[in-house]
Structure 1
Amino acid sequence: MKPLILALVLIATPGAVQAQTPPPAPAAPSTPAPPYGAPIGLEAAQALIDRATAAASARGFRMAFAVVEPSGALVAFARMDDVQYGSIAVAQAKARSAALFRGPTAAAEARVLAGRTVSLAIEGLVPVAGGVPIVVDGRIVGAIGVSGASSAEDDEIARAALGQ
C-alpha cells in the first residue's frame, strides 16, 4: 500500500519535481555580424583560391576550394589533383554556410561541441571548421570554404588565403 501511495503522490505533484530544475541561463549578448557588401568578383575570388592552393601545397595537402558571394552562390572553385571527391561538395557547403550565416563555420562547430546540438537542425549550417567569411571594408562580400584535411587544417588554409 505504501508504494502505491508514494507513486500517487509523485504523479500528483510533477510541478514540485520540475521546480527544482533551474531555468537555463540567458545567452550572452553577441556582437552583430558585419553587413553584406557587393559580391566578390571573379578576379578576387581566383586570387584567394590561388593563395589557398599555394598554402595547401606547402603543407602537402590535397584540397578543394570554393569561393561564394554573400548569397552563397558559387563564384570560383578549384580542386587539387587527387583530392577526395567528397571534399568538392564539402568545400562548397562550408563556404555557403559561412556566407549565409555571416560567421566562420569553426564557430558553429564550437557551439555544437559545447552542447548546442540544436544547431544541427538548421538547414544549410555546416558546423565543421573550414568556412570563413570574406570581409572587405567591414562588409561581408563572400566566403571561402576549404576541405580535404582535418577541419582545423581546412580552417588554417582558408585563413591563410585571407591573410589571417
Structure 2
Amino acid sequence: MKRKFLKPLAFIAFFSTCTAAHAEDSKVLTRTVLSSAGAKSLLNVAEADAKRRGMKVSIAIVDGSGRLLAFIRMDDSQSGTDETAIKKARTAALYQSRGKVLAERVSQNQAFLTTLPGITAVPGSAPVMSGQYVIGAVGVSGATDDLDDAVATNTAAAFQP
C-alpha cells in the first residue's frame, strides 16, 4: 500500500524541481504592483500623519514607474506644493531613493545628480517597497524639509503589501 503513493510523490518532487529551475531561467519577471486601493491607503496614512503634526501639505502617491495614483492638496496648503509633491514622489520611485538622501548627495559634491531626468533632489519623498522592489513612492510638500520627510518616510515604512 505504501508503494502506491511513492510514484505520485516522486512525480511531484521532480516537477517541483523542474519548475523551480525553469523560473530562474525565465525571460519574464513577475512583480508586485501597487493597486489604487494600496495608493489610497498610503494617502490616508500620510494625510492622518500630516494632520497630527498640524501640517497643510500636498501628498502624492505614484506607482513604481512614477505615474500618479493618488493625490490630495489639504485645505489651506500652498498651491505651489501640488507639482512639487508629485515630482518628489516620482523622484523616489524612479531613482529608488529618499529625496533627503539624494539632497545630501548633491550637497556632498555630487551635483551631477541634478542633471538626471526628472529628478527633484529635496527632502520629502520615500520609495514604497515590496521585498526588494520599489512598487511606488510617497511625496509630501508644503511644510519644512524635516516634516515633509518624516511623513513620507513613516508612511512608506508602515506600508504592508
Q: TM-score, with normalisation over the residues of structure 1?
A: 0.74
1:114 aligns with 2:114: no
Q: Which runs of 5+ in 1 are unaligned?
A: 1-34
Aligned residue pairs, count: 130
1:85-164 superposed matches below 5 A = 85-163=79-157
Specify which of 34, 47, 64 is matched with residue 70 of structure 1: 64
Are the aligned partners of 1:36 and 1:141 in contact in 2 as well (CA < 8 Å)?
A: no
Question: Residue 129 of structure 1 aligns to which amino acid in structure 2?
Answer: P
Q: Does residue 1:55 correspond to 2:49, yes or no? A: yes
Q: 1:37 to 1:94 in 2, by over 3 A?
A: farther
In structure 2, distance between residues paired with 1:138 and 1:85: 35
Query: What residue is the counterpart of 1:18 in the other structure?
Result: none
| Residues 1:84 and 2:78 aligned together | yes
Q: Is the 8 A contact 2:32 2:130 kept in 1?
A: no
- Give the aligned CA root-mean-square deviation in angstroms: 1.7
Between 1:113-122 and 1:40-49, the stretch displaced more is 113-122
Return the letter of the residue paired with 2:61. Answer: V
Higher helix share: 2
> 2: distance between equivalents of 1:104 and 1:136?
16
Partner Cα separation in structure 2 for residue 155 and residue 63 of structure 1: 12
Residue by residue over 1:5-43, the C-alpha shift from the partner in whole angstroms, topping out at 9 and shown as x without a partner, is: xxxxxxxxxxxxxxxxxxxxxxxxxxxxxx993321111
Q: Could you report, residue by residue, the CA deviation over 1:78-112 in whole angstroms, capped at 9, with x for unpaired residues?
A: 11101101111000000101111111111110011
CA contact (8 A) 2:68 2:86 kept: yes
| Residue type at the aligned position of 1:118 | F
Q: Secondary structure of 1:162's partner?
A: helix
Deviations 1:46-101 (A, max 9, x none): 11111111111111100111111111111111111011011110000001011111
